Amino acid sequence: MIDYLTQPTPFLFFTGKGGVGKTSSACAAALQLARAGKRVLIVSTDPASNLDAVLGTELLATPTPIAGAPNLFGLNIDPEEAARAYRERVVGPYRGVLPDSAVASIEEQLSGACTVEVAAFDEFTGLMSEAETLDAFDHIIFDTAPTGHTLRLLQLPAAWTSFIETNERGASCLGPLSGLKNQQERYAQALSALSDARRTTLVLVARPERSALAEAERTRVELEKQGVTNQFLLINGVFHASGRGDTLALRLEADGQAALDAMAPGLRALASYEVPLKPHNLVGLDALASFFSQAAFHGPTSVQERPRTVLADVAPLSALADDVAAAGHGLVMFMGKGGVGKTTMAAALAVELASRGLAVHLTTTDPAAHLEGTLPEQVPNLRVSRIDPVAETEAYRARVVERSRATLADDALALLEEDLRSPCTEEVAVFHAFSRVVFSSRREIVVMDTAPTGHTLLLLDAAGSYHREAMRQAGNSGLHLGTPLMRLQSASETRVVLVTLAETTPVQEAAQLQEDLRRAEIEPYGWVINRSLAATSTTDPLLRARAAAELGEMRAVVERHAKRVFVVPWSADEPTGSGALRRLMTPASGALARSRAEPTTQGGHALEGTPGHE
């Protein structure tokens, strides 16, 4: 039995690189504890939560009983609702006391994406400190956002406590500082709980992949510095081939073992547990109940395969490169849930365009950027950069202070420098850097690897806030303004590509992201279904079972969601380096064609056209 389930602490955090299985791991642990008689609350701190889909219950912003699981409750921290409540707590006391113009000014200060993030953080700390919640549950499990966002979330208690203690002005980019000071005791309690090994366990979730394990090690080190020392390593999706005749299966097994063998010493020293790769999607209570099982998969040993697929009207990834190359400039943004392969797709397109002699700028907005590992070498015609939140914040502070030095008195300059120390300054600085990159696409090809969905939506929200304020200030002045949002809305200037896996949760999240983008009048160019086993000719029983499970999701993408679809098969070659990345762009690797066919039988189960190589 796993240590953190036999002797669980009151708080358990599940974190890791996108796509490693944090939500399924956290839900499986919550279900097991609940079935052992403990009252458990599972909370998502991810702005793009999918707890509802995994648990099969529509969750609210208050503890909601999970159908079919006595003692288990779920809660989604709704960032927008939290922000509305936070704004009212701050602004409410001033209504009828200050002039309407002053109240309006405070509300304007509280309209940015930073307020959304801090309000969600405020809800998170409340769950760790409010006596009513702590008395109601034996354990609170946090299913967190992908690592970069989580590191910021867990570092905020210390950052805000320090800022509140040293700020003398009584205001911040979040309006009157009293809105934060009122919560200072709550923040201190949360910080104390995080650093208490008797109260908090951090479960680092990874897969047997070098990038996922490297991210787990980075998180281990960063959070250990914050005093979070009670850490556990959960390695999800460990695969063992059923025989020696499938090249893809053997390569997956060998690559996984090599990644585990190369694990950092600090990570290896942690208590750990390996979870075998499952043949099915981990959605619903029955699937979650089998999550920790070590039982081997006993599926069909033979496969009757026909080279058919369920997809139609699909283009190779090279068609996207053709479209971008014809324009000669523009922005291509790859978006999606963490772990679906946005970085790989962005790097593959950039390398392909550069190989055609075009000048390309490949960049990322992801706080936990992985571009260096995906493309470790220099490529002619290709410039690679990263929007580094720390570096951008320092540069932004320096620019603002230097620009104001000649016009502000010493005391006013000191107040400005104090305000710029607020953690919210990072939001403004990153948005400024993002805007520069967006506008640079007027004269060059820019390929952008974005952060996982929730973080990207906050960035786009900042673009929307800036756009509305710019339009308001322009008024009827006759000025012709161009904002980042306007460029993102232009189909001739920006191509937004959604990346997903042929699995229930990533497809649902991509569909929700598409709706969010459309509300901002941004129409996605197309979808990429990445790492598809259904697009390979594997004969391994477990991999074939997973391939069969993909078909329904692939059909949903083609028929209900996407205008254009690209499918990239699961490759036995690790997609790192320019050569491997370019191979993803070729028609043989990048696209499938559908032929309508009668069901094909595999192990007694009917499939809607068993896939193979075309």
- 204 belongs to a structural domain: yes
491 has a pLDDT exceeding 50: yes
What pLDDT score does 472 carry?
A: 58
**For residue 385, what are the domain limits?**
317-607
Report the percentage of the chain scoring pLDDT > 90.
Answer: 29
Supply φ then ψ for residue 496, to 5 degrees. -95, 120
What pLDDT score does 271 carry?
A: 93
Task: Give the chain's domain count.
Answer: 2
User: How far is the C-alpha of 614 from the C-alpha of 210, rounded, in Å?
Assistant: 31
What tens digit of pLDDT does each residue of 87-125 get? 777 777 778 877 777 777 666 666 655 666 667 677 777
Q: Please indicate, yes or no, whether residues 574 and 538 belong to a single structural domain of this protein.
A: yes
User: How far is the C-alpha of 509 from the C-alpha of 54, rounded, in Å?
Assistant: 12
Strands (E), 311-468: 330-335, 360-364, 382-384, 445-449
What tens digit of pLDDT does each residue of 549-581 get? 888 888 899 889 998 888 888 887 778 899 989
Q: Please indicate, yes or no, whether residues 327 and 243 belong to a single structural domain of this protein.
A: no
In the sheet that holds 200-206, the strands lie side by side as 64-65, 72-76, 40-44, 139-143, 11-15, 200-206, 231-238, 271-276
- Non-local CB neighbours of 63 within 8 Å, separated by 6+ positions: 41, 73, 74, 75, 136, 137
What pLDDT score does 608 carry?
A: 36
Return the CATH number at 190.
Answer: 3.40.50.300
DSSP 8-class letter at 575: -
Mean pLDDT of the chain: 78
Q: Please indicate, yes or no, whether residues 356 and 488 belong to a single structural domain of this protein.
A: yes
Instruction: Say what the pTM is.
Output: 0.73
What pLDDT score does 591 carry?
A: 36
What tens digit of pLDDT does each residue of 31-71 get? 999 999 999 999 987 766 778 889 989 888 789 999 999 99
For residue 271, count other CB atoms closer than 10 A to its CB.
12
Task: Just list the catalytic residues.
Answer: 19, 21-24, 46, 505
User: How far is the C-alpha of 494 from the C-alpha of 511, rounded, in Å?
Assistant: 19
User: Per the structure block, which two tokens stand in for 605?
Assistant: 């189960």
User: Per the structure block, which two tokens stand in for 228?
Assistant: 């979070």
Q: Please indicate, yes or no, whether residues 476 and 599 belong to a single structural domain of this protein.
A: yes
543 has a pLDDT exceeding 50: yes
In this prediction, residue 29 has a pLDDT band, given cuts at 50, 70 and 90, of very high
- 303 belongs to a structural domain: no
Q: Please indicate, yes or no, whether residues 335 and 381 belong to a single structural domain of this protein.
A: yes
Show which of 274, 289, 304 is a domain's final residue.
289
What pLDDT score does 527 carry?
A: 95
For residue 473, count other CB atoms closer than 10 A to its CB.
10
What pLDDT score does 171 carry?
A: 47
- Mean pLDDT for the stretch of residues 445-459: 70
What pLDDT score does 285 carry?
A: 92
